[in-house]
Structure 1
Amino acid sequence: MSHPGPASVERVVDSPLKAQFEAFIDQHRAALHDCLDGLTGEQARRSLVASRTTLLGLVKHAAFVERVWFDEAVTGRSRAEIGIPGTPDESFALTEEDSIDAVRRDYREACEASREATAHLDLDDVLPGNRRGPLPLRWVYLHVLRELAQHCGHADILREQVLDGAAPAPPTTRRAAGR
């Protein structure tokens, strides 16, 4: 009887810890996506700080983050091959085509691609394509979670400023933390 080769064996990854990481990452992904709820295009693009950071730019940047950590790091493809900016700062730059719907759609697609790219990986699997060198998926999950949490906080503050304090910010940070 022949034994199937490695290419034909489907690897099943079932780690409760991995599922916890993914649940927290998904909560923060949703919070960033939802920070644009009820805003006009002008409000989403409003610049209130010296950097390029806007609410729409944060969500666009989050799609870049997904592609850096779950495409570039997993596959080793270059940023040019992936079709993303070369630097994080560039990922905040908005074009005329960057509507709320378009940026949200791109972010959802990037998140889904990230889930697919890591579905077959264990937390200790090493991702070869990061510029810092090979890193375990566990490190990448923690880094992405930290970055998304930071940007959720930025979004809460920017949203409150955009709405001139007239309406409270959506509970992105509270929802992400499960409170």
Structure 2
Amino acid sequence: MTVLPTTEPAVLRGSLRDQFETFLDEHRAHMHACLDGLTDEQARRSLVPSKTTLLGLVKHATFIEKVWFDEAVTCRPRSEIGIPETPDESFDLTPGDTVESVQRAYREACAASREATKDLGLDDLVRGNRRGPLPLRWVYLHMLRELAQHGGHADILREQILDGARGRA
């Protein structure tokens, strides 16, 4: 006979916001870790016709953090934030982009995202997005979708780079 636990995991006892943030942080950690153990050359390797590389995916994840948690929350323009105008440009790599520098930028962007929203409620409107005012709940759901999609891309690319070695970093 299987005995079910009498208490729920902590994440289930938390608020809906706690649950959103737990899942966001899990996806963020996965994106960050997709570069672990790779050389800069491996991380830059292009395996598909688009600009998508593992290094470019994490650079793009940094971009979307800044779009959704800086631009949308603070209403600052992209030029002031220092990010490209279009998502496509966010995959562009410069000679100075390394595994270390891109992971550091991503960690910093995620920390800034947490800081920017710490005093907001899920129903509070953020007004700096090009779509118009949106509730923070919508932003969290959008980010979960983005990170899940790109995390899947990262898994496939990493598997190809490591000659079929499977599993997450």
TM-score (norm: length of structure 1)? 0.85
- C-alpha distance after superposition, 1:11-42 (max 9, x if no partner): xxxx7100100000000000000001111111
- Unaligned stretches of 5+ residues in structure 2: 1-13
- Unaligned stretches of 5+ residues in structure 1: 1-14, 172-179
Residue equivalent to 1:113: 112
User: Structure 2 matches for 1:74-153, cutoff 5 A?
Assistant: 74-153=73-152
Q: Is the 8 A contact 1:63 1:106 kept in 2?
A: yes
Residue equivalent to 1:46: 45
Distance 2:38 2:167 in 1: 11
Distance 1:52 1:23 in 2: 30
Residue 142 of structure 1 aligns with an amino acid whose one-letter code is L
RMSD: 0.9
Q: State the number of aligned residues.
A: 156
Distance 1:20 1:138 in 2: 11
Of all paired residues, the percent bearing the same amino acid is 72
Distance 1:73 1:108 in 2: 19
Distance 2:99 2:112 in 1: 20
Match of 2:167 among 163, 166, 169: 169
